[in-house]
Amino acid sequence: MTERSIVEAAARLRRHAEPYLVATVVNVRGSTYRRPGARMLLTRFRWVAGTLSGGCLEGDLSHQAWWRTRYGGPVIVTYDSAAPAAEAAEAIDDDVRSVFGLGCEGVVEVLLERTGATGRIDALEVAARCLRAQRRGAVATVFRAEVPGVAIGLRLALVAGGDLEEETDRLDPEIRALVIADMRAVIERGASANRSYAGGMIDVFIEAVLPPPRLFLFGTGHDAIPVAQLGRSLGWDVVVCTSEQRHSTRDRFTMADEVLVGTADDIATRIAQTDRAVAVVMHHDLERDRESVAMLLGTKARYIGVLGPRARTELLLEDAASDPRIHAPVELALGAETPQEIALALASEMMSALAPAPVIRERIGMSHERGGDSTATIAAA
């Protein structure tokens, strides 16, 4: 998923016509700190948004990225912990090795590109459209090519329900058809992928572009404010749902993307238009909570959290407790007591509900792979 903060930062730079550079992780092998799709934005004078490591790599790119792209075209930079130092174009120090998280045999390839080139697809502009429309998309980027006429950085883009977008340069029709099929599969799964074509002569990063999760918050009490704040800080859309129009609600939930005043049907319609909806019910009123839960059970919400004591929650849910989307009482998951702790417990459960189990297992495995001494080298393409 492309981070909302990066998408919004790029949109601001485009509005102000300020040139900027994008660094994107397009391929990894072995143990690494970030996965494909991680990004950072740089202008000529400053870091703007995003991160590829814990800090040291950003400094290296801040000094070198504009120089490396001085001829205008996209460039691949490879960070390789397995290559002997003698084979590297430059050496990097121990701080960069450890902060970037390069473990044994870890290799990371980063695409550096200046934006604004005529006729080129801007991946972050595609992501901005997906965010606004709550639609999934896919952007395919060539990052290695040994075929004449196929350049590094060549892109195709597809937004669900829309037409394929292509650049002036085109892939061979047979390869193009294979890439499009893989793009559709990526949109369906919601997970990015690396693919090779033409017998391994063309490598492509196919990025899944997902709109941020949308949190529907049922309740406008003071304990709902930390939930809205944390959801927004994670880059999610936050919608506060209420049946009453009150200025005080808008004043207290300024961090929310929207205060939705409407009926249960209005809210259900909005959830139906959302790619990944999660909901928290915290009216602290039995009948209103029951009505909200009954409505949510008829939607595609991925997570339904209900606050309150266990006995009250059991009375509220009745037969609905068997629905696996129901989480109640949520504040007990982490032993939470304060509103801020409850917000953290909610966010943890919602993220777990949104992430497929294989992804969670993979990331846990990655954390165990890291560690130990390694000799990292950097080779700039």
**CA-derived radius of gyration, the chain:** 23
The C-alpha atoms of residue 220 and residue 253 are separated, in whole angstroms, by 8
Which SS3 state, helix, strand or coil, does residue 268 take?
A: helix
CB-based contacts of 303: which residues, under 8 Å, 6+ apart? 278, 279, 325, 327, 349, 350, 353, 354
Q: What amino acid is encoded at 118 in this protein?
A: T
Instruction: Please give the helix or strand (H or E) that residue 95 lies within, else none.
Output: helix 94-100
Length of the chain (residues)? 381
Which SS3 state, helix, strand or coil, does residue 16 take?
A: coil
* Predicted pLDDT of residue 243: 86
* Predicted pLDDT of residue 320: 64
Count the alpha carbons within 13 Å of 137 in the hemisphere toward its beta carbon. Answer: 27
* Predicted pLDDT of residue 66: 85
The C-alpha atoms of residue 292 and residue 269 are separated, in whole angstroms, by 14
The residue extents of the domains of the chain are 1-117, 119-211, 214-358
* Predicted pLDDT of residue 102: 47
The C-alpha atoms of residue 342 and residue 334 are separated, in whole angstroms, by 8
Residues linked to residue 24 through DSSP beta bridges, in sequence order = 39, 111
Number of CB atoms found within 10 A of residue 177's CB: 11
| Strand boundaries in the chain, DSSP class E | 21-29, 39-42, 47-50, 75-80, 90-91, 107-114, 137-145, 155-159, 165-166, 193-197, 202-209, 214-218, 237-242, 258-261, 277-281, 303-306, 326-327, 377-380
Closest CA relative to residue 320, chosen from 347, 340, 349, 290: 290
CA distances 327 to 101, 348, 349, Å, are 35, 12, 8
* Predicted pLDDT of residue 29: 82
pLDDT in 10s for each residue of the chain, 381 residues = 578 899 999 999 999 999 999 999 999 887 666 789 999 998 888 888 888 765 556 666 777 888 889 888 999 988 776 555 434 434 444 544 444 444 445 688 999 999 887 889 999 999 999 999 999 999 999 999 999 989 999 999 999 999 999 998 889 999 999 999 999 999 999 999 999 999 999 999 999 999 999 999 999 999 999 999 999 999 999 999 998 888 889 999 999 999 999 999 999 999 999 999 999 999 988 889 889 999 999 999 999 998 877 777 777 777 666 788 888 777 555 677 788 988 998 899 999 888 865 444 444 444 334 333 333 333 333
CB-based contacts of 349: which residues, under 8 Å, 6+ apart? 303, 305, 327, 330, 333
Q: Is the alpha carbon torsion for 236, 59, 204, 98 positive or negative?
A: negative
The C-alpha atoms of residue 156 and residue 167 are separated, in whole angstroms, by 7
Sheet with 202-209: strands ordered across = 165-166, 155-159, 137-145, 202-209, 193-197
* Predicted pLDDT of residue 381: 31
* Predicted pLDDT of residue 314: 74
* Predicted pLDDT of residue 361: 43
- DSSP secondary structure code for residue 381 in this structure: -
Residue bearing tokens 């209005």: 266
Dihedral of the CA atoms 241, 249, 12, 139 (nearest 10)? -10
Closest CA relative to residue 144, chosen from 87, 89, 78: 78
Q: Does domain 214-358 have CATH number 3.40.50.720?
A: yes
The C-alpha atoms of residue 192 and residue 207 are separated, in whole angstroms, by 5
* Predicted pLDDT of residue 230: 95
Residue bearing tokens 């740089």: 42
The C-alpha atoms of residue 137 and residue 179 are separated, in whole angstroms, by 14
Closest CA relative to residue 224, chosen from 277, 285, 274, 168: 285
| Angle value at C-alpha 230, between 229 and 236, nearest 5 degrees | 95
Q: 342 is written with which tokens? A: 């409850």
Specify the pairing of strand 155-159 against strand 137-145: antiparallel
The C-alpha atoms of residue 353 and residue 351 are separated, in whole angstroms, by 5
* Predicted pLDDT of residue 270: 95
